[in-house]
Structure formats: structure tokens, C-alpha cells
Amino acid sequence: MAELTYREAVARGIAQELRRDERVVFFGEDVAKAGGVFKATVGLYEEFGPKRVRDTPISEQAILGAAMGAAMTGLRPIAEIMFSDFLAVCFDYVANEFPKARYMTNGQLGCPLVVRTGNGAGSRFGAQHSQSVENWAMMIPGLKVVAPSSPADVIGLLAASVRSDDPVIFFEHKSLYATKGEVPDGEIVDTLGTAKILRHGRDATILALALMVPRALAAAETLARDHGIDCEVIDVRSLVPLDTRTILESVAKTGRLFTVEENPRLCGWGAEIASIVADEAFYDLDGPIVRITTPHIPLPAADNLEDMVLPTPEKIVDRIRRAMGA
């Protein structure tokens, strides 16, 4: 068992798959000799060389076009888009090409690739470099969508993504790169479409993703200690496929559901889950579903303003406490 940072786990996860399968290649802007702009790919170029770890031009369309061509001709590429906001630059590949290749060729061509990208706020990068855009990818049929919150999950879910025969958008939260966690020795392979219960509770269910997971856990501890509200905290981890069974079973037990979402409120992933729960577990609910989100605004770059709009442990505590009448 080793303690790794989230960014070190990214490098270890990529290295694990490069060692395991010679068809895996990795490329993106400044990912080779420079070790990535977030230093999440340090050492890969030195171990695997320029044939399998490559720098690309500053062109998101070129990166994803190369990834698609490589995937359709027998490789299993991992491509990096530096900031998830820039998926908008190459969105035709994300929305129209990757997810539909196998469908439109009647299975003659596959597209087994992973797009890694830095997602989310908290690093003071401003409105065009700080968005949480997992809902952009979640809406597209044919894509798998993953967002890990811990170093161990980074490695295990990345391995599962690389080995998937479907295209995967893999969101790494920029504000988690420096966080640390214990990681088992040896090969780690997780399963896509599985949520993880991180704290068991009886009074309410809190769903969270990526950076919101540690914030939800901190809020749950405060709610239990100071207000006598015992919350179950679930790390959703995978939006597509979505582990509805774990979510619905938890709601059936607690009777209350709160989602903690960094994405803007309108059309966020929590809205889809709220719809599912309302359809399939309405009579298990003891109160309305509550979504705790970022407002529907562009993200500010100023420290105090960015902190003001993001869900924090204090905001989560206050919203749940008021909803529960405590």
C-alpha cells in the first residue's frame, strides 16, 4: 500500500495500461517531456519513449481526430484535452464521431479510446478554464462518462476505461491533483458503472462527484456531530453507465436525497438522477429531492467570488439542515 497524490495516480494508471498492452498509446499537448501542464504524466515519456508517448500540436481537433483514427485501426489510444472547456473546440468528434462509429458501421469499426481532461473549478483559471462539463458528455448516446475522486479510483477506473470497447470521457478534477490517498500495490482494475458508498447513514442520502465528494463527506461529519443528522454519502464516480441500483437502494433506506453538483444548476447530472428517483422511488421519499449546485453563471476568477459560487461543506450543511428541519 502506497500513498499517492491524485496526479501521481494518473501517471501510474496510464503506465499500468501502457505496460500491459502494446496497443495503448498516449498523446496530447505537452504530455511527454514536460510531464503535462498539471504534472500528471511525469515519467511516462522516459519509460515508454516517443513512439508511445507523444506531444501534439495545439489543436484539439487534431488530437481527437488522431485518436479516432488510431482507435479505428487497432490501437487503444489515451488522448489528453488539457482543459475540459476545450472539448467545445472539438465537439464534433465527441458528439458525432466517437459515439456513433460502431453504430453507423454496423459493428465493423470500433472506437475504443479514452479522452482524459482536466475538469472543474477551484484553481482560479476563470470562466473559460474552470467549468465542470460532465453534463455535456453525459447527454450523448454512445459515450461512457467517468469522474474519479480519489487516487485509487483514478487508477482503477482509468484501467477499466482503457479496456472498454466504447469511447470514454475521463474527467480529472484539477483541484484534486494535489490531494493524497492510499493506493494498493499491484494492478488495479475497477468496474465502470459502479457507485461507491463512502459513509453509511440512516437519515439522508448525499450524492456527490469528484471535488464535491470530500466536501460532502466533511459536511456529513458536521451534520452528524452538530445536528444529529446521519447521512449516507455516495460517490457516483460513473455517470454513464449510472449505478441506479445503489442510489435507489440508499434512497429507499434513508427516505431523503440530496445531490451536490459543481456543474451549473440547469441540466446538471443531479437533475437526471432526481428524475429517475422520482419515477422509480417516489413513495420511498419522505421529502422533496434537493439539488445543491453552482448557480447558472460563468465562473469568476477572483478567489473570493469563485469560492462564493461553489458548493462548500458549510453550504451543504446549511441546506441539508434546513431541509431536514434541524
Q: Which residues are catalytic?
A: 129
Phi, psi of 214 (to 5 degrees): -60, -30
Q: Is the peptide bond before 148 cis (omega within 30 degrees of 0)?
A: no
Report DSSP state, residue 122: S
Give the distance, in angstroms, between the CA of residue 95 and the centroid of all CA atoms in the same chain: 18
Whether 140 and 100 have beta carbons less than 8 Å apart is answered as no
185: its cell numbers: 500495490
Residue 6: in which H helix or E strand, if any? helix 6-20
**Where does 39-171 have alpha helices with state H?**
44-48, 60-72, 91-92, 101-104, 134-138, 151-163
Answer left, alpha or beta for residue 228, where phi above 0 means left and psi between -120 and 50 means alpha.
left
Q: Is 24 exposed, middle or buried (0-12, 13-18, 19+ CB in 10 A)?
A: buried
Q: Which residues contact 176 (CB under 8 A, 6 or more apart)?
A: 6, 149, 210, 211
59: its cell numbers: 489543436
Per-position DSSP letters for 215-240, written without gaps between them: HHHHHHHHHHHHH---EEEEE--EEE
